[in-house]
Amino acid sequence: MEPSTIDRIDRRLLALLQRDNRRPLRALADELGVSAPTCLRRMRRLQARGIIRHHVALLDPELVGFHVTAYIEVSLGQASGTEMAAFELRMQRCAEVVQCAELAGEVDYLVKVVARDLPSFSEFTRKQFADDKAVRSYRTLLVLRQSKGEHALPIG
């Protein structure tokens, strides 16, 4: 769906769902000024078009035992399609990796990792980056404190 095909009501619906997707359908419809069946049709259309990808619970990493968060800049030896695909597949299989993005510029990837503690983080980086011949270099940026952690897009 092109952004231009999302009307004002869709944008308001998306903004409401990003804040709390567990609100009753009737409450969403009332706030939007539409009927519940219309609201449900819009939600289903947004889901079918891939705009709404998942309905999830956002967890606090610290409260569930993940005390280390880091961003890791990774440069591959050769940024060939084959090496990049293999690296991405490996990152997808790592439970510690919560985000992996290909970048333009000097660094090939930015990987966000969570770990229970520093020893387990150290083991992860050694196994996934230091011991990998395809990785030319990597640089770790440990998060000391997160001052903003929004997941909502400024859609509304």
Residue 156 inside a domain? The answer is: no
User: Structurally, how many domains does the chain consist of?
Assistant: 2
Amino acid making up residue 117: D
CATH code for the domain in which residue 117 is found: 3.30.70.920
Question: In this structure, how many other beta carbons lie within 10 angstroms of the beta carbon of residue 79?
Answer: 14
CATH number for the domain spanning 19: value is 1.10.10.10
DSSP string, 40-71: HHHHHHHHHTTSS----PPP-TGGGT--EEEE
Domain that holds residue 93: 62-142
Residues 35, 96 within the same domain: no
- Distance, in Å, from the CA atom of 64 to the CA atom of 126, rounded to the nearest integer, reads 24
- Please list the residues that pair with 112 across neighbouring strands: 71, 99
Pick the closest to residue 129 from 77, 61, 81, 82 (CA basis): 77
Pair (103, 133) in one structural domain: yes
Summarize pLDDT for 94-127 with one digit per residue, the tens.
Answer: 999 999 999 999 999 999 999 999 999 999 999 9
Report pTM.
0.86
Residue 139: its pLDDT value, please? 97
Share of the chain above pLDDT 90, in %: 88
